[in-house]
Amino acid sequence: MQRFEEGLVAINRAVIATLLAAVLAIVFVNVIGRYGFGSSFAWSEEAARHLMIAGAFCGAGLALREGRLVAIEALQDALPRPFRILLRWIAVAIMLVFMGVMGWLGLKFVGFGWPKETMSTGMSRGIPYMAIPLGCGLFIIHLLLFARRFVDRRFEHDDGMTPDTIPDTVPGTTQRGE
Per residue in 19-50, pLDDT tens? 999 999 999 999 999 999 998 888 999 999 99
The predicted model scores a pTM of 0.81
Q: Where residue 83 falls among pLDDT bands split at 50, 70, 90?
A: very high
The residue that leads in pLDDT, 124 or 156, is 124
68-86: average pLDDT:
87
Query: What 3 state SS string does 50-86 have?
Result: HHHHHHHHHHHHHHHHCCCCCCCCHHHHHCCHHHHHH
83-87: average pLDDT:
93
DSSP codes of every residue in 117-177: B-TTT--BTHHHHTHHHHHHHHHHHHHHHHHHHHHTT----TTS--TTTS-S--TTSPPPP
Domain segments of the chain as ranges: 2-151
> For residue 33, which amino acid is it?
G
- Residue 117 has φ and ψ, to the nearest 5°, of -110, 150
162-167: average pLDDT:
47
pLDDT tens digits, one per residue of 1-10: 889 999 999 9
